Chains A and B, each alone.
Chain A
């Protein structure tokens, strides 16, 4: 099905430095894209943030209208059907080759945010719906020549480790995990 879907056009906005309130990363590339207007909804602007920590890029995206909300990554947006939702994920995945052009040794991580619905119900942490979709898309779009794929189902996170000039993938994976745990010493 993915071969029938074209990504939305991605526009680079800026390279951003950490702020006082958001200082876990070294820098971030920020992009935007627009979905299409449908019969019932206006087009939506989306923001993609790719936050770089050492040689790992964390990919995050949200609807720009939700940018001030704490739960901007968690909201279920009814404007999109299944195909449109896949198209959004596909668009975000197209960021990876763009980043690799500038940073050919980079690895990538994405976390599936827990969904929240209109009645304030929240999905579990483990193997959530976003994670399952991200995993499916990642496995189809990115082969195993350049990346080794890892899943952390219990926290719904997916990691693609760049194999370029890497002597010990397991060691690299553990280093990345340790770095992220030190930086994101949080409760979820």
Chain B
């Protein structure tokens, strides 16, 4: 019995490793680029003019306000 239990455990552990390597990372699932492909650009070139945030929330949400 102990040998069977041990072999089951080893099989489960091997399957777990295989599953992890097959499992996509968050970046792979979301289509992020790899760091080697990533191109930096000067901050000045891409910064926009800054837009006012006008969305509002209901009173229920505002009851958690830290500052009005």
Query: Chain A contacts of B53 at CB under 8 A?
Result: 135, 139, 149-151, 158
Interface residues contributed by chain A, number (CB under 8 Å): 46
Query: Chain B contacts of A185 at CB under 8 A?
Result: 42-44
Query: Chain A contacts of B63 at CB under 8 A?
Result: 3
Query: Smallest CB–CB gap between B56 and chain A, Å?
Result: 8
Q: Decide if A122 is an interface residue (CB 8 Å cutoff).
A: yes
Interface of A is mostly: mixed
Query: Chain A contacts of B66 at CB under 8 A?
Result: 93-94, 96-97, 141-142
Residue pair B43, A186 in contact (C-beta under 8 Å): yes
Partner of B57, one of A120, A135, A140: A140
Within 8 A of A (CB), among B24-54: 25-28, 30, 32-36, 38, 40-44, 46-48, 50-53
- Nearest B residue to A140 via CB reads B61
Partner of A152, one of B41, B48, B57: B48
Residue pair A151, B38 in contact (C-beta under 8 Å): no
Query: Chain B contacts of A3 at CB under 8 A?
Result: 63-64
Q: Decide if A119 is an interface residue (CB 8 Å cutoff).
A: yes
Residue pair A152, B65 in contact (C-beta under 8 Å): no
Q: Decide if B3 is an interface residue (CB 8 Å cutoff).
A: no
Partner of A142, one of B26, B34, B35, B65: B65
Residue pair A76, B26 in contact (C-beta under 8 Å): yes
Residue pair B46, A155 in contact (C-beta under 8 Å): yes
Within 8 A of B (CB), among A90-135: 93-94, 96-97, 100, 115-125, 135
Query: Chain A contacts of B52 at CB under 8 A?
Result: 148-150
Query: Smallest CB–CB gap between A103 and chain B, Å?
Result: 14
Q: Decide if A187 is an interface residue (CB 8 Å cutoff).
A: yes
Query: Chain A contacts of B44 at CB under 8 A?
Result: 181, 185
Query: Chain A contacts of B30 at CB under 8 A?
Result: 123
Q: How far apart sit A158 and B66, CA to CA, in the bound complex (Å)?
A: 17
Q: Decide if B8 is an interface residue (CB 8 Å cutoff).
A: no
Q: How far apart sit A125 and B52, CA to CA, in the bound complex (Å)?
A: 19
Q: Which residues of A contact B (CB under 8 A)?
A: 2-3, 76, 93-94, 96-97, 100, 115-125, 135, 139-143, 145-155, 158-159, 173, 177, 181, 184-188
Q: Which residues of B contact A (CB under 8 A)?
A: 25-28, 30, 32-36, 38, 40-44, 46-48, 50-53, 55, 57, 61-68
